[in-house]
Amino acid sequence: MSFEVKVPILPESVADATIAKWYKKVGDTVVREENLVDLETDKIMLEVPAPCSGIVSEILFEEGGVVDAEQVIAVITEGEVQETPADSKPAEESAPSQASQGASPAGPSVRRHAGEAGVNASTLAGTGNRGRLTKADVDAATKGSSQAVAQDLPVAGLRTEKRVPMSRLRQRIAERLVQVQHEAAILTTFNEVDMKPVMELRSKYKESFEKKHGARLGFMSFFVKAVVEALQRYPAVNASIDGTDILYHDYCDIGVAIGSPRGLVVPVLRNVEAMSMADVEGGIMQYAVAAKDGKLTFDDLTGGTFSITNGGTFGSMMSTPIINPPQTAILGMHNIVKRAVVINDEVVVRPMMYVALSYDHRVIDGREAVLFLSTIKQLLEDPARMLLSV
């Protein structure tokens, strides 16, 4: 009996998908629920598992092909798949056979990581549990390969080029950024924050916080909570544009920009006004792991009423972040640098951070933008304000 492998149902906002990678070829055996193919959309990578165990009898689209929802992409002939016992062959034959078949088992995320690094996973030996291949194994192989290539290349005069197709995610990011630049009236206002109070509070409680909640106490949760307080005071900053209408939201769904192997993604924390700082840190940690492993879902990335991006993790001193449409504002965090500042008529050294608010002037007036950013500054420089809502 044959089973058709179909593209999963895609959300309304996603028109189609691209065949990113086949893990099997015609004639290969496959086990039920084993990842058969990766589909790339403009938001996430989808893994399509085998609906049954058997033999891949047809593959209807090559890698790079564009497919629609519920379209048949492969056919599997059902049958029992039995692994050859380890002692069924002489020892001298079993080792070559194992090596030729890519001995070390690897999960989908590790195989994808190897593909992105240009490494053949079947040639690597795994160091994980029961010989499984890990991302560390792939990274080690990549580093070794790079060193070998570097030794063979001429010292000077090398002029090489490499053409790589732009990923669907990267194409979508580019499209949205150009769109917002053309449609929105973007302005950016800046301020600076004395991070000493937050740093002292974090240093005092980070160990007990992590022990109790199982999550690291970072700076982002302070910023997220300060943003929520400021959004409730200035609702226009939490609004979005829908055609000729302005939608004012009575909830705060905060998108947090996270770097991933496929590009920048902005998963959304829902109803942050009802979340504790531990909930915020835990949510961000889960999203970071999911982004790294390519496990973010459509729901994780859709919606959002306001976004935060932290270029400071990469050493950025100042930037003008671009709004994530249909939102009307985004907060940019930057690196913390010790600078001389004047406090109470005295020059002192403080850990300072520049913050930037890019906003759509079609919805938000300059007064609201400046007061919004000033509120965040006040809340972070005196964290007790967040507790007392003053």
Active site residues: 361, 365
Q: Report how far residue 233's alpha carbon sits from residue 211's, in angstroms, rounded to the nearest whole number.
A: 33
**DSSP structural state of residue 331:** E
Report d(CA 260, CA 273) in Å as an integer.
Answer: 27
Among all chains, which residue has been given the structure tokens 């692994």? 83
Cβ atoms of 22 and 36 within 8 Å: the answer is yes
Q: State yes or no: cis peptide before 326, omega within 30 of 0.
A: yes
Compute the distance between CA of residue 373 and CA of residue 225 in angstroms, rounded to an integer: 13
For 202, the 3-state DSSP assignment is: helix
DSSP for 147-184 reads: HHHHHHS-SS--------PPPHHHHHHHHHHHHHHHHS
Q: Which residue has the tokens 């193919």?
A: 37
Q: What is the DSSP string of 127-149?
A: -SGGG---HHHHHHHHHHHHHHH
- CA dist 383 and 388 (Å) reads 9
Structure tokens at 278: 């531990």
